């Protein structure tokens, strides 16, 4: 019997906000997009790139200039958001007020907590893709996660990828509550995490726009910004 090809799941993520004690903004946010086939992924990249080039031309910017949410007005950010609105998107809002001060005061603890948030966000997105029938848990898969800005050490990324791989392939025990969470897959899953220079990755740039939109919605009580998004997945933490 001929083996079926490995499923490739691609996630692009960026953050918005500052994760530290005393931060004025209440929420720290991750946002991004997921894809389960190259056709959709490349189409999304190309339509986003086209819109970026149109906006750059209108602003008189050069080809090497990156459009960051922080530098754009609401009209341009909305335009960039709308172009990918119908693709699978996700975000996580971390309420900093509810995070233990002992975590926020320790740099290594902050990195570990961010890794934990990313792992939770990635897991609920994969669960959604399985529930929607976009991913088959009985077929081998390759998870590729692209994150803007190196928020931890290279060792930290290795640890995060190993932790995600362990949970997807073997499940995880919560010894505090005596609970075992079964693995999401019944076939092998490989995991690779790559931190990227967003200047060269249009889907990371798109994730920056989405994360900024979510940050604005949650911190300024503008919930309408995150409503009526057809294929969106949201997680609140902690």
For position 149, what pLDDT does the model report? 75
Residue 178 has pLDDT above 80, yes or no: no
Confidence category of residue 150, pLDDT binned at 50, 70, 90: low
Confidence category of residue 171, pLDDT binned at 50, 70, 90: confident
Domains and CATH numbers, the chain: 7-237 (3.30.420.10)
pLDDT digits (tens, 9 = 90+) for 46-81: 999 999 999 999 999 988 899 999 999 999 999 999
More confident residue, 159 or 61: 61
Q: How far, CA to CA in Å, does 6 sit from each of 55, 123, 127, 154, 156?
A: 37, 19, 18, 27, 27
For position 151, what pLDDT does the model report? 53
Out of 71-75, 161-165, 177-181, which region has the weakest mean confidence (pLDDT)?
Answer: 177-181
Residue 152 has pLDDT above 90, yes or no: no
For position 153, what pLDDT does the model report? 47
Mean pLDDT of the chain: 91
Confidence category of residue 177, pLDDT binned at 50, 70, 90: low
Residue 236 has pLDDT above 80, yes or no: yes
For position 205, what pLDDT does the model report? 97
Question: Is 138 within 8 Å of 187 (Cβ atoms)?
Answer: yes
3-state helix, strand, coil in the chain (%, to 5): 45, 25, 30
Confidence category of residue 155, pLDDT binned at 50, 70, 90: very low
pLDDT digits (tens, 9 = 90+) for 94-128: 999 999 999 999 888 898 899 999 999 999 999 99
Question: Is 147 within 8 Å of 92 (Cβ atoms)?
Answer: no
> Of 72, 81, 89, 92, whose CA–CA distance to 28 is shortest?
92
Q: How far, CA to CA in Å, does 219 sit from each of 19, 25, 48, 117, 212?
A: 13, 6, 26, 18, 10
């Amino acid at each position: 019997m001929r083996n079926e090809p490995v499923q490739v799941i691609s996630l692009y993520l960026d953050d918005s906000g500052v994760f530290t004690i005393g931060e004025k903004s209440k929420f720290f946010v991750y946002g991004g997009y997921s894809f389960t086939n190259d056709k959709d992924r490349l189409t999304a990249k190309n339509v986003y790139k086209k819109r970026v080039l149109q906006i750059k031309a209108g602003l008189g910017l050069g080809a090497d200039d990156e459009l960051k949410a922080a530098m754009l007005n609401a009209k341009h950010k909305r335009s960039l958001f709308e172009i990918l609105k119908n693709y699978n998107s996700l975000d996580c809002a971390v309420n900093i007020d509810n995070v233990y001060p002992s975590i926020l005061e320790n740099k290594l603890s902050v990195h570990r907590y961010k890794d934990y948030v990313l792992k939770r966000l990635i897991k609920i997105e994969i669960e959604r893709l399985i529930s929607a029938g976009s991913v088959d848990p009985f077929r081998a898969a390759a998870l590729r996660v692209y994150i803007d800005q190196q928020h931890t050490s290279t060792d930290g990324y290795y640890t995060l990828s190993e932790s995600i791989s362990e949970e997807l392939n073997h499940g995880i025990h919560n010894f505090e509550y005596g609970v075992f969470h079964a693995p999401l897959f019944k076939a092998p899953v490989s995991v690779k995490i790559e931190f990227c220079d967003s200047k060269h990755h249009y889907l990371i740039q798109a994730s920056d726009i989405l994360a900024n939109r979510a940050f604005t919605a949650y911190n300024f009580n503008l919930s309408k910004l995150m409503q009526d998004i057809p294929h969106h997945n949201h997680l609140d933490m902690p």
